[in-house]
C-alpha cells in the first residue's frame, strides 16, 4: 500500500481535499495511507515557531530548517521513502508522466512551503525532487500538494471504479482527450455526433483518435512538439 506523508504549517487546508471523492475512497479501501503532519509539532520555543526573518534583509518570513529536518528524520527513522518532494514554483512542471511515475512508488514525503519559502539548506540536503504546478505563486504548497496527491492516487489500481478510465485521460497518451457526451442525444438542438450513436467500436475509436489529435493541435500544439 502506498503511503504519502504531507508536511505543512497549515494542515487544515488539506483535510477536505484529501478526504472526499476518489482520494478519500481510495484511502477507505486501504489503497493509500495519507498522513498530514503539522510542522509546528517541531516548532522552536514555547510558541512553536517554524519561521524567521531571512538573512540579507529580504522581505517575508522563511521556514526554518530545524523543524523540517526533525520531522523528516523522524519519518525516515520509521520507514524508507522513495522521494522527498518539495512543492516549489521553480521545480519541474507537473505532468501526467510524473504522476504515472510517482504512482508506482511506495512511500512519499511531500513538503509544503509557506511564507517566503524554505531555508535553502532543506532543498540542498533533504529534498530529492522539486515539483511545480505552474508558473505562478500561491500562498503555500498545500493546494499544489493536494493536486499532486490527487494526480497520483487516482492512478493506483482500484482507485477508479473503471480502471480503464484513467487510460483515456488527457495527456495519458500524449494527447488531449476527445470530446465526451452523455444522454440525451439531442438537447436544445445540440446533437451528439452520429458516430458515437453508431455502436461501431472501430468507427468510434477512429473518431476519438482523430478528435484527440485535432484538439491537441488546436489547443496545445506544444505537446506534439515536446512529446510530453
Q: How far apart are CA 215 and CA 176, in angstroms?
A: 7
Nearest 5°: phi and psi at 156?
Answer: -70, 130
CATH of domain 170-226: 1.10.1270.20
Please tell me the pTM assigned to this model: 0.89
Q: How far apart are CA 142 and CA 227, in angstroms?
A: 29
Residue-wise pLDDT for 92-120, tens only, equals: 999 999 999 999 999 999 999 998 899 99
Which among 96, 92, 130 has a CA at the least distance from the CA of 113?
Answer: 130
Domain ranges of the chain: 2-153, 170-226
Helix (H) / strand (E) containing 145: helix 142-153
Per-residue pLDDT, averaged over 21-31, amounts to: 96
How much is the pLDDT for 225?
84
Which class is domain 2-153?
alpha beta
Residues 6 or more apart whose Cβ sits within 8 Å of residue 173: 167, 212
Long-range CB pairs of 97-103 (<8 Å, 24+ gap) are 97/171, 97/228, 98/131, 99/148, 99/151, 99/152, 99/155, 100/155, 100/172, 102/148, 102/152, 103/2, 103/152, 103/153, 103/155, 103/156
Residue-wise pLDDT for 175-224, tens only, equals: 999 999 999 999 999 999 999 999 999 999 999 999 999 999 999 998 89
Residues 6 or more apart whose Cβ sits within 8 Å of residue 163: 157
172, 166 contact by CB (below 8 A): yes
Q: How far apart are CA 34 and CA 24, in angstroms?
A: 9
Q: How far apart are CA 5 and CA 105, in angstroms?
A: 13
Residue-wise pLDDT for 62-103, tens only, equals: 999 999 999 999 999 999 999 999 999 999 999 999 999 999
Amino acid at each position: 500500500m502506498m503511503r504519502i506523508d504531507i508536511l505543512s504549517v497549515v494542515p487544515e487546508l488539506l483535510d477536505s481535499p484529501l478526504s472526499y471523492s476518489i482520494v478519500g475512497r481510495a484511502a477507505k479501501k486501504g489503497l493509500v495511507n495519507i498522513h498530514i503532519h503539522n510542522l509546528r509539532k517541531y516548532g522552536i520555543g514555547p510558541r512553536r515557531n517554524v519561521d524567521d526573518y531571512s538573512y540579507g534583509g529580504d522581505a517575508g518570513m522563511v521556514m526554518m530548517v530545524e523543524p523540517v529536518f526533525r520531522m523528516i528524520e523522524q519519518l525516515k527513522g520509521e520507514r524508507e521513502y522513495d522521494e522527498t518532494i518539495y512543492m516549489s514554483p521553480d521545480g519541474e512542471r507537473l505532468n501526467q508522466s510524473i504522476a504515472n511515475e510517482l504512482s508506482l512508488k511506495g512511500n512519499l514525503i511531500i513538503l509544503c512551503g509557506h511564507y517566503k519559502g524554505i531555508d535553502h539548506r532543506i532543498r540542498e540536503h533533504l529534498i530529492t525532487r522539486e515539483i511545480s504546478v505552474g508558473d505562478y505563486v500561491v500562498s503555500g504548497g498545500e493546494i499544489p500538494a493536494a493536486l499532486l496527491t490527487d494526480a497520483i492516487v487516482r492512478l493506483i489500481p482500484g482507485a477508479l471504479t473503471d480502471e480503464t478510465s484513467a487510460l483515456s485521460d488527457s495527456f495519458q497518451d500524449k494527447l488531449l482527450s476527445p470530446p465526451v457526451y452523455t444522454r440525451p442525444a439531442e438537447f436544445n438542438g445540440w446533437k451528439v455526433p452520429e458516430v458515437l450513436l453508431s455502436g461501431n467500436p472501430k468507427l468510434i475509436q477512429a473518431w476519438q483518435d482523430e478528435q484527440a489529435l485535432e484538439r491537441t493541435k488546436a489547443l496545445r500544439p506544444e505537446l506534439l512538439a515536446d512529446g510530453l
